[in-house]
Structure formats: structure tokens, C-alpha cells
Amino acid sequence: MMLYKLLLNKIDGKLYNSVKSIYQSSESCVRINGKLTSWFCCKTGVKQGDNLSPTLFSIFINDLVQEINDLNLGVDLLETKLSLLLYADDIALVAKSAEDLQCMLNTLHQWCKRWRVLINTDKSKCIHFRKPRTKETNFEFTIGKNKLEKVKMAKSKSQRMKEYRERKKASLGEKWLIQESNRTREYYKPTSQLNSKEKKARRERIRDNVSAYRKRQITLLNKTNNVALLNEADLDEPNPVVLIADENGVSSTSTNQPLIVKMPLISAKSKGGKKRASHALKRATNEIRNLKTHNKNLKKSQNTLRKRLEREKKRNSEKKNTPRSKTDALIQRAGLTPGTRNTENIRKKLLYAECV
């Protein structure tokens, strides 16, 4: 069907033959724990991760978009009638009423039957956006003979994975946790195999996790201490309070039961966290100081080299007008070899002539 759609859109020649050769005899396998399953033929769908796949899917689904837009249903957005939203292989139909949405679903169902496309109704949901006082619609939305579930908000992939993990925990228990632990341990890379950027990211992630864990532990410990203090104090029976006045006229209160004073909880772990933060601040300060010193030295070196370069340029740009420099220039222009007896005699005569 996809190849036929390419021909309908006037895509032929070498490009058509290339796409046909890719999908004509496509085979795949699944890797599980480093082992490969047997190869099997793939007769439906596009290749996942291929750069050409989104374009092929857009070409394949283009006539569906045209059919939905021809219904002239949807919501008004500025001067445009918005009826559907597309992202990769996800389609969102938008309508003002339940009847309009069902009409769109019927058009979608007819298109799927015509082009032999299957829709996963388990992942297809309906959402009714309304005001707080408006009741949710009782309309039953269907695609063919399959009913669609109505939800308050569509579930993301992370939510579906979380529910899957909870079902596995409930069914398999500790066995599944051990399997997951062994599976994730295979993807762990030792610190020695990481580069500096990955090491820094791992340290920051571990530091954040440890900090969050300690905060949870301190909160839990505070709640436990508060409950223990409330249990010790008999709140149902009020403590008798007696007012006592001495000779100086100063009054004070007295009670038969000991008073409970709640002291702030300071654990060794919280002290350790402050100490680590202090050490980290000290290291950062030293690093900044060293970088400033290094930057200052680099500026000095740069100024020295710049002045040296300026002097060299000035020396080369100045025209030499001394008798000796003129004599050397004449000998060099004549092609004479310096250092020989004849050249030295000629040089002396030329130098004398220049001096005169």
C-alpha cells in the first residue's frame, strides 16, 4: 500500500526503486539480554529510527488529513478551522460536539478499511474538555465496532510504564524485582570507563539523590518523635495548674506532671551535610582563586608577546640608511658570496665609497 501511495503522489524512478528495495524483503530480530531471536519477516509498518520513515508516513496519511478537513468540522482558531493535530504517528481529532467527533471517527474508520490500517483502540482515548459545572458527555464513541474509553487526561508513556511495573510487582513480587535489578546491572558502566563529563553528571545525580533521601529520613524521624511526645503526654486529662506567689509578689505556675519541651532535632547526618557543603564551597573558592591567578598570568604573557611583536614589526618596517647596511644590500643584490677574500675587498671599497 505504501508503494502504491508513492506512485499516486508521482514518486517514481530511482527514488521509488530505492524505497522498494528497502521494504521488499525486510527482516528483523529482537535482542534480549545480549542474545538475538530468530529472524522474521516484517510486512507492515516503516523502519523505526530511519530518517526516511517520518516522510513516508506523512505521504501515506496525507489523504486522510484532506478527507477530515473536507468535513469542515472542528474548532475555530483565528481564521482557521482546526480539526486534527499530527505528531509522528499520533493523531488527535478535535471537534465542538460529540456528533462531530463521531463523524470524524467514522471517516477515519472508512479510510483505515480502504488502506488496510489497524488502529489500536486500547491506546486510543477520548477526552471531554469542559467547564467545571458542565457534566461529562454520555455519548459512546466508537471506531467500527470498538468502543473508545473516556478519560480525564491521556496517559503518558511514563504513566503506562509505571502501571506496568506495579502490575508486575503485584503478580511476581520479589522475583520481578530481582530480574529488574539484574537487567539494569548489565547496563551499568564503571566509573573508570566514563569520560570527565559523564563522571561529573553521575556525581551530581548521586549527590542529589542522597540529599533527597536524607531529607525524607529527617522528615520521617521528626514525625516519629512528634507522635512519641504526644503519646507520652496525657492529652485527655488536663494537668492541674497551681498559681504560687512568693513574698516579693512574683507569681509562678506549678503542675504535678512534668512539662514536655520540644527541642529541635539535629542529627549527625545533617551536620555531615553542612560540612560537605562547606568543603564544596571551599573547593569552589580555591578553584576560582586559582583561575583568576592563571588568567592574570596569561594576560601578562599576552602583553609581553604583544610588545615583542610590535618591536619586531617596527624594526622590520624601518628603512636602513647606514653605509654598512647599504653596502650589505649592494653585495646581496650583486649575488656575491660573503666571507670570501674578493668579496671582502669589494665590501671595503664600497663601504669607503658610501662613507665618502
Residue 126 phi, psi dihedral angles, 5° rounding: -115, 135
CA gap 269, 271 in Å, rounded: 5
Percent of the chain scoring above 70 in pLDDT: 84
For residues 337 and 241, the model is more confident at 337
Give the mean model confidence (pLDDT) for residues 108-118: 88
pLDDT given at position 21: 83
Q: Write the single-letter amino acid at 106.
A: N
Give the mean model confidence (pLDDT) for residues 267-284: 73
All three cell numbers of 49, joined, read 529510527
For residues 21 and 287, the model is more confident at 287
Residue 169, domain member (yes or no): yes
Residue 150, domain member (yes or no): no
By three-state DSSP, how is residue 67 classified? helix
41: CB partners within 8 A, 6+ apart: 25, 26, 27
pLDDT given at position 250: 47
pLDDT given at position 242: 47
Give the mean model confidence (pLDDT) for residues 347-356: 76
Degrees to nearest 5, angle at CA 216 with 276 and 180: 100
CB contact burial 257-283 (16+ within 10 A = b; e otherwise): eeeeeeeeeeeeeeeebeeeeeeeeee
- Per mean pLDDT, which range of 17-26, 104-113, 242-251 is the poorest? 242-251
pLDDT of residue 290 exceeding 70, the answer is yes
- Looking at residue 10, the DSSP 8-state letter turns out to be T
DSSP string, 200-249: HHHHHHHHHHHHHHHHHHHHHHHHHHHHHHHHHS-SSSPPPEEEEE-TTS
CB contact burial 44-75 (16+ within 10 A = b; e otherwise): eebeeeeeeeeebbeebbeebeeebeeeebbe
For residues 253 and 293, the model is more confident at 293
| Res. 312 pLDDT band, cuts 50 70 90 | confident
For residues 231 and 55, the model is more confident at 55
pLDDT given at position 188: 79
CA gap 355, 327 in Å, rounded: 10
Residue 162, domain member (yes or no): yes
Residue 172, domain member (yes or no): yes
pLDDT given at position 254: 54
All three cell numbers of 283, joined, read 573547593
All three cell numbers of 10, joined, read 508521482
Give the mean model confidence (pLDDT) for residues 228-245: 53
CA gap 225, 247 in Å, rounded: 41
| Res. 243 pLDDT band, cuts 50 70 90 | very low
Residue 173, domain member (yes or no): yes
Q: What is the mean pLDDT of the chain?
A: 80
- Per mean pLDDT, which range of 170-184, 202-216, 290-304 is the poorest? 170-184
CA gap 242, 257 in Å, rounded: 12
Residue 15, domain member (yes or no): no
Q: Domain residues for 162?
A: 157-188
254: CB partners within 8 A, 6+ apart: 241, 242, 243, 244
| Res. 301 pLDDT band, cuts 50 70 90 | very high
Percent of the chain scoring above 90 in pLDDT: 13
Give the mean model confidence (pLDDT) for residues 95-120: 89
For residues 273 and 216, the model is more confident at 216
Length of the chain: 356
Helix (H) or strand (E) holding 349: helix 341-355
Residue 312, domain member (yes or no): no
Give the count of domains, the chain: 1
| Res. 265 pLDDT band, cuts 50 70 90 | low
| Res. 24 pLDDT band, cuts 50 70 90 | confident
| Res. 295 pLDDT band, cuts 50 70 90 | very high
Put simply, whether the predicted model's pTM sits higher than 0.75 gets the answer no
Residue 230, domain member (yes or no): no
